[in-house]
Structure 1
Amino acid sequence: MSQVMDAIQRVSILAAEISNAGARQGVGVGQVGAAVNQMDETTQRNAALVEESAAAAGSLRQQAANLVDRVAPFRF
């Protein structure tokens, strides 16, 4: 009977350890999910900044071309 009680106690301890491990994994999965969401937001912001930078570069390129055209008559 003592052996049965010992086995039940071991099973109970193992079940508690499994439950704790599952809870820790759940927390870890939540943290990974939050990190992925943050990376997604950062990627979207970066994409918007790249588009803005490309538009600004295009505008500067056009302004430089206009300036070259306006200064051209003054070249010797």
Structure 2
Amino acid sequence: RGFAVVAGEVRGLAQRSANAAKDIKTLIVGTEEAVRTGRSLVNEAGNAMQQIVPAMQQVSTLVEEIAEASGEQSRGLGEINLAITEMDSTNQQNASLVEQAAAAAKSLEDQATVLNRVVAVFKLDERLLQA
């Protein structure tokens, strides 16, 4: 009977060992699958990074071009602003000259009126005018 108990214990131990071995094998297979999946994801991430780097370089180049274009626009707007300022100054000078010309014309008109009055005082003989 003692041998049967020991044999039963050994059999139970062997069964538990076999079950544990199966569980370990299942864990190893699951781990291998997880490692394969992880490796695949790492490879995909690496490929994505390799695509991102050139895209980032292109974005950087575009940002530099935009900055340069903005600088050129700013300089162009500065030149336009200067031209508008010069045009405004010229317009003001022209307005001043027009006012001076109008004043001179008024003065000439006034002088012509005075001259007509002065000349009207003199009465010329019609015979002298015909000669």
Q: TM-score range by the shorter chain?
A: over 0.9
Paired residue type of 2:121: P
2:85 aligns with 37
Query: What's 1:74 paired with?
Result: 122
1:2 aligns with 2:85: no
Aligned residue pairs, count: 76
* Correspondent of 1:54 among 93, 102, 118: 102
Aligned identity (percent) is 46
**RMSD over equivalenced CA pairs, Å:** 1.0
CA distance in 2 between counterparts of 1:75 and 1:20 reads 83
Say if 2:117 is the partner of 1:65: no
In structure 2, distance between residues paired with 1:75 and 1:28: 70
Unaligned stretches of 5+ in structure 2? 1-48, 125-131
Distance 1:70 1:40 in 2: 45
- Determine the C-alpha separation between the residues in 2 that align with 1:8 and 1:35: 40
Structure 1's consecutive aligned runs of 4 or more residues displaced over 2 angstroms after TM superposition are 73-76
**Structure having the higher Rg:** 2
Q: CA deviation at 1:50?
A: 0.8
| 5+ residue gaps, structure 1 | none
Length-normalised TM-score, structure 1 = 0.93
Q: CA deviation at 1:2?
A: 2.2
TM-score by length of 2: 0.55
Q: Which amino acid aligns with 1:27?
A: R
Counterpart AA for 2:66: I
Of 53, 65, 72, the match for 1:24: 72
